[in-house]
Structure 1
């Protein structure tokens, strides 16, 4: 018998390209999947097209409607063993400088919404099934760079939150993973001029999420691992010269 048949994974922001691949891979591994998103019609279409209706329950979840988060969690039919926060929103620096509403939306989706719902989930000590929380962060949050530091700051904040949450939950043996991700061929990156040699496919990234181990920081792809360490270790005067 598959040991995952009795386990439930909750995917928040489940309509993203990477999250959809996670749904497929978790279902294949025998998990029951709670797929939560604002766009439930699109998600239901995806589930039906992939014959996943028997394994996936589609739920409405708005990451920026903070007041609804406690009720959303309370109404879950089964409390999760694994939680994946995959919700994300991106505007480029040029827009972020002049359009604060979009900037605020980015802050709320990428950081504030995550803290709101994950605090609720993490502090529920009655859920003895909870064993792992995974957050999708970004290489953009490793160091502040001229080209994307507004977006990057939201991801840096999220990574820092996850690092502290890891310490908070260590005594309960709950694992925390931060996926520090580079370019992916997804809707959020459409129209951007990106290096094709560095672009990862959503299903490739999803494998790292679904098979996450004990390491806190997970950087998919060896090329991005090299870039990650260059960014981490470079002195500030060199980082300042990067685009």
Structure 2
């Protein structure tokens, strides 16, 4: 039966994966609070898919930490499920040579997530909250010379979610981390990636919307194998990777 009374807050709702989550959550009967900086694009998507009665669009800037408490206080309803899908990527060569690029990744991928999720998790008056899901990356499993700046932000986010899961377990709130490989999204446009490993946004969204109780969720059996290889390979082998 559809969960018609439950609300999902999607932070970073303008990403390709987040948009697919919105479609799938609304199909299941959820109401969605879609939060993003790009309201025009998001509103067009909502209108195109005739979701005006199921989705509320809200402005949210992950890197504007001082606005997060007011953003949360002003929500029309406190969420049952929170999905943090905000993300920012710059090539490692750019991030190494331009700290502004590196810092923006740190703000959006990690610091902004900690800021808003701490506010949400610490609200003991919200008896609705039952799950928090964060979108991380296989880039954060081990440091690699091709993407260690971006990877470090995802590693930090995964570690934060792991501790948050332990902290919230006494309140029966589940925390999941989606550790994904390559996704065919606009954030990866122009990159030379193995097409045979590319996942579609709707496929990744299925794993988010249907998340169970396991902490780490790695979509796709190929990426599961790569995840375990990366996790347990000795350092000298990882150092040979791009």
1:29 is aligned to 28
1-structure distance, mates of 2:47, 2:179: 31
Deviations 1:150-207 (A, max 9, x none): 1000000000000000000000000000000100000100000000000000000000
Tell me the CA shift for residue 210 of structure 1: 0.2
Aligned length, in residue pairs: 242
Two-structure CA RMSD over aligned residues (Å)? 0.5
2-structure distance, mates of 1:125, 1:170: 14
Q: Alignment partner of 2:179: what SS? A: strand
Q: Alignment partner of 1:62: what SS? A: coil
Q: 5+ unaligned residues in a row in structure 2: which ranges? A: none
Q: Alignment partner of 1:64: what SS? A: coil
1:229 is aligned to 228
2:157 is aligned to 158
Tell me the CA shift for residue 97 of structure 1: 1.0
1:207 is aligned to 206
2-structure distance, mates of 1:225, 1:48: 36
Q: 5+ unaligned residues in a row in structure 1: which ranges? A: none
Alignment of 1:50-199 (within 5 A): 50-199=49-198
Q: Alignment partner of 1:134: what SS? A: strand
2-structure distance, mates of 1:34, 1:102: 29
Tell me the CA shift for residue 59 of structure 1: 0.3
Tell me the CA shift for residue 3 of structure 1: 4.7
1-structure distance, mates of 2:2, 2:105: 38
Q: Alignment partner of 2:167: what SS? A: helix
2-structure distance, mates of 1:4, 1:41: 28
1-structure distance, mates of 2:223, 2:143: 17
2-structure distance, mates of 1:114, 1:228: 23
TM-score of the aligned structures, taking structure 1 as reference length: 0.99
TM-score of the aligned structures, taking structure 2 as reference length: 0.99
Tell me the CA shift for residue 103 of structure 1: 0.8
1-structure distance, mates of 2:53, 2:189: 32
1-structure distance, mates of 2:167, 2:213: 16
Q: Alignment partner of 1:176: what SS? A: strand
Q: Alignment partner of 1:51: what SS? A: coil
Q: Alignment partner of 1:156: what SS? A: helix
Tell me which stretches of 4 or more aligned residues in structure 1 moved more than 3 Å: none
Deviations 1:5-35 (A, max 9, x none): 1100000000000000000000000000000
1-structure distance, mates of 2:143, 2:100: 21
